[in-house]
C-alpha cells in the first residue's frame, strides 16, 4: 500500500511524519474520511470543501489549491489500483517546536491513505448507550470542525466499550441529542424523520446531507429539530449515518429495544436508495 506524504508516495512501513508535527503533539490539524465506490469517489468536492472550511476555522492555511487536493486523493487511489476504498486525507499544522504556537509551524503536512474497503453487507443493527460525556459545545471547539482532536468522541467510545455495545450517543451541553462518536443520528416517529440541527453540536455529515436529500426526493417529511432522550426512547426507528457506517439501524438504546430489534421500513427504504446512488455521485477515478 502506497501512502502520499507531502508530494511523495511511500510504502506503509516508510510512511512517517515528524514527532515535532503539531498534528501529533497537539491534535492541531484537520481531516476527512472519504469512500470510493466502484471507481467513483463519493462526493469528493463536498469533502474537500469541508476540509478547507475546517482548516480555515482553525486559521490553518492550506497552501495547495482544492483541485490539487482532489488530485492527491485520485492519485493515491490510482497508485494503489483501488476502486472500492476508505480514504483518509489529513492536513496538520506541520512541524514546529515543542511550544503550541502555530506560528512556529511553517508548512502544513498533507498525507493521504487509501485502503481497500468493500461496502458493508448484512448489517444486523447496533446497540447503543447514551454517554455521560457531553459533546463539545459549539463555543468551545465546534464539532462542525473536523479536527484531529477526537478525544471527546474517544471518551464516549470507551464508555460504549465498557458497556459492551457498539456505539455511544452524546448529548450536547444543554442535554439535547447531538451525535454518535463518528456518525449522525436520525429518528423516525409516525413517518416523520428528524435529525439534530447543527446548533446541537454535530458535524455536518456528508452522508447526513445525502440522506436528507434522498428523504426529501422520496416525499418523506424530514426536519432538523432539537431532540431529547425522550424522542429516542419513543422512536419507531433510529439509524446512524457516516462515511464508514453508511446507514445502520439502532436496535437498542440504553437497554430499550427499538422496533422489536428489527430493521424498520423507512430505514430500509433510505438505505436501499443510498446504496443505489453511492457509486453515482462524485468524481470518477479512472
Ligand atoms: N459525526 C462525527 C463526529 C464524525 O466523525 C463523522 C464521520 N466523519 C460523522 C458525524 C459523519 O460524517 P460523514 O457522513 O461526513 O462521514
Model confidence over 198-249: pLDDT tens digits? 999 999 999 999 999 999 999 999 999 999 999 999 999 999 999 999 999 9
What is the band of 121 on the pLDDT scale with cuts at 50, 70, 90? low
Of the residues 2, 146, 157, 194, which is catalytic?
146
Average pLDDT over residues 253-271: 97
DSSP 169-191: EEE-TTS-EEEESSSEEEEEETT
Ligand 1, closest atom to CA 208? 14
Residue 244 DSSP class? T
CATH fold of 126-277 reads: D-amino Acid Aminotransferase; Chain A, domain 2 (3.20.10)
With a cut of 60, say whether residue 122 has pLDDT above it: no
- The residue whose CA is least distant from atom 7 of ligand 1 is 182
> With pLDDT > 90 as the criterion, what percentage of the chain qualifies?
97
What is the band of 166 on the pLDDT scale with cuts at 50, 70, 90? very high
Pocket residues: Cβ below 6 A from ligand 1: 33, 153, 179, 182-184, 203, 205-208, 241-243
Q: Residue 78 Cα, ligand 1 centroid: separation in angstroms?
A: 25
The reported pLDDT for the residue numbered 123 is: 75
| Nearest 10 degrees: Cα torsion 197, 200, 205, 207 | -50
Residue 210: phi and psi, rounded to 5, are -65, -45
With a cut of 70, say whether residue 168 has pLDDT above it: yes
Q: Residue 99 Cα, ligand 1 centroid: separation in angstroms?
A: 30
Best CA proximity match to 34, nearest among 244, 204, 285, 253:
244
Q: Which CATH number fits the domain 2-116, given the four candidates 3.30.470.10, 3.40.50.300, 3.40.1410.10, 3.40.50.1000?
A: 3.30.470.10
The reported pLDDT for the residue numbered 120 is: 66
With a cut of 90, say whether residue 253 has pLDDT above it: yes
Clarify whether 146 is annotated catalytic. Answer: yes
Q: Residue 242 Cα, ligand 1 centroid: separation in angstroms?
A: 5
Residues composing the chain: 286
> With pLDDT > 70 as the criterion, what percentage of the chain qualifies?
99
Q: Where are the domains of the chain?
A: 2-116, 126-277
Strand partners, 37: 40
204: exposed, middle or buried (Cβ count in 10 Å: 0-12, 13-18, 19+): middle
Number of C-alpha atoms within 13 angstroms, CB side, residue 165? 24
Amino acid at each position: 500500500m502506497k501512502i502520499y506524504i507531502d508530494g511523495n508516495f511511500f510504502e506503509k512501513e516508510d510512511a512517517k511524519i515528524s514527532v515535532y508535527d503539531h498534528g501529533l503533539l497537539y491534535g492541531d490539524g484537520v481531516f476527512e474520511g472519504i469512500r470510493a465506490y466502484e471507481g467513483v469517489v463519493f462526493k469528493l468536492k463536498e469533502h474537500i470543501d469541508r476540509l478547507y472550511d475546517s482548516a480555515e476555522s482553525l486559521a490553518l492555511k492550506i497552501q495547495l489549491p482544492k483541485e490539487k487536493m482532489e488530485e492527491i486523493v485520485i492519485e493515491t487511489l490510482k497508485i494503489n489500483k483501488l476502486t472500492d476504498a476508505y480514504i483518509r486525507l489529513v492536513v496538520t499544522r506541520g512541524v514546529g517546536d515543542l511550544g503550541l504556537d502555530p506560528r512556529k509551524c511553517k508548512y502544513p503536512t498533507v498525507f493521504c491513505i487509501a485502503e481497500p474497503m468493500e461496502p458493508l453487507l448484512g448489517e444486523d443493527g447496533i446497540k447503543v448507550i447514551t454517554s455521560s460525556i457531553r459533546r463539545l459545545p459549539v463555543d468551545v471547539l465546534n464539532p462542525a470542525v473536523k479536527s484531529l482532536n477526537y478525544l471527546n468522541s474517544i471518551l464516549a467510545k470507551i464508555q460504549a466499550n465498557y458497556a459492551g455495545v457498539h456505539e455511544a450517543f452524546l448529548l450536547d451541553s444543554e442535554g439535547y441529542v447531538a451525535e454518535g462518536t463518528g456518525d449522525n443520528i436520525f429518528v423516525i416517529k409516525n413517518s416523520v424523520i428528524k435529525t439534530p440541527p447543527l446548533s446541537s453540536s454535530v458535524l455536518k455529515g456528508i452522508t447526513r446531507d445525502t440522506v436528507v436529500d434522498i428523504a426529501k426526493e422520496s416525499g418523506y417529511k424530514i426536519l432538523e429539530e432539537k431532540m431529547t432522550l425522550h424522542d429516542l426512547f419513543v422512536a419507531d426507528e433510529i439509524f446512524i449515518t457516516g462515511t464508514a457506517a453508511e446507514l445502520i439501524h439502532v436496535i437498542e438504546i440504553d437497554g430499550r429495544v427499538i422496533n422489536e430489534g428489527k430493521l424498520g421500513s423507512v430505514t430500509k427504504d433510505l438505505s436501499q436508495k443510498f446504496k443505489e446512488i453511492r457509486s453515482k455521485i462524485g468524481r470518477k477515478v479512472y
